Amino acid sequence: MPLKSQNQDRGESPKVVAFDAAAETFATVRAQGKRIIQSHGIFDLMHPGHILHLEEARSLGDVLVVTLTADQFVDKGPGRPYFNEQLRIRSLVALACVDYVVLVPAAGAVPGIERVRPHVFCRGKEYEDPSFDVTGSLATEREAVEKVGGTLRFVGPIKYSSTKLLNLFFDHLAGPVRTFCSALATQWTRHAFHEAVDSFQGLKVLVVGDTIFDRYAQVKVQGLTSKNLIISGRYLGEETQCGGALAVFRHVREFVKDVRYFSLLGTEDWVQREIAAHVPAGADRALRLPEFTTVVKQRFVEPPAPGKEVRKLFSVNYLDANPPSAAVEQRVLERLSAELKRVDVVLLLDFGHGLMQQRVRELVQSEARFLALNCQTNSNNHGFNIINRQYRRADAFSLDEQELVLACGRRQVEFPVELEALRKGLGARAAWLTRGSVETLGLLESGESCACPPLETDVVDTIGAGDAFFSVVALAAAMQLPLNLSTFLGQLAGAQAVKIVGNSRPISKDALVRGGMSLLNF
In this model, does residue 1 exceed pLDDT 60? no
- Provide the pLDDT for residue 190: 84
- Provide the pLDDT for residue 158: 65
Helix (H, G, I), strand (E, B) or coil at 387: helix
- Provide the pLDDT for residue 9: 39
Task: Encode pLDDT of 137-182 as tens digits.
Answer: 889 999 999 999 999 999 987 677 788 888 888 888 889 999 999 9
| Dist. CA 246–CA 199, nearest whole Å | 23
Task: Encode pLDDT of 76-105 as tens digits.
Answer: 888 889 999 999 999 999 999 999 999 999
Architecture in CATH of 6-160: 3-Layer(aba) Sandwich (3.40)
Task: Please state, in angstroms and as integers, the Cα–Cα distance from residue 373 to each residue in 60, 208, 281, following that order.
Answer: 57, 10, 25
The CA-based dihedral angle spanning residues 494, 502, 84, 43, taken in that order and rounded to the nearest 10 degrees: 60
Helix (H, G, I), strand (E, B) or coil at 493: helix
Which residue intervals of the chain bear CATH 3.40.50.620?
A: 6-160
CB 244 within 8 A of CB 351: yes
Task: Encode pLDDT of 155-166 as tens digits.
Answer: 987 677 788 888
- Provide the pLDDT for residue 381: 80
* Strands 63-69 and 100-104, sheet pairing: parallel
Average of per-residue pLDDT across 205-209: 98
Closest to 395 in 3D by CA, of 371, 375, 362: 371
Q: Within 13 Å and on the Cβ side, how many CA atoms surround 456?
A: 30
- Provide the pLDDT for residue 165: 83
In this model, does residue 362 exceed pLDDT 80? yes
In this model, does residue 269 exceed pLDDT 60? yes
Task: Encode pLDDT of 456-505 as tens digits.
Answer: 988 889 999 999 999 999 999 999 999 999 999 999 999 999 999 889 99
Task: Encode pLDDT of 305-337 as tens digits.
Answer: 776 788 889 899 999 989 999 999 999 999 999
Task: Encode pLDDT of 348-357 as tens digits.
Answer: 999 999 999 9
- Provide the pLDDT for residue 126: 85
Q: Within 13 Å and on the Cβ side, how many CA atoms surround 211?
A: 28
Which residue intervals of the chain bear CATH 3.40.1190.20?
A: 196-519
Averaged pLDDT score across all residues of the chain: 92
CATH entry, 196-519, from 3.40.1190.20, 2.60.120.1440, 3.30.70.980, 3.90.226.30: 3.40.1190.20
Strand ordering across the sheet containing 151-155: 16-17, 100-104, 63-69, 36-41, 120-124, 151-155
- Mean pLDDT lowest for which of 6-20, 112-126, 217-231, 406-420? 6-20
In this model, does residue 2 exceed pLDDT 50? no
CB 440 within 8 A of CB 490: yes
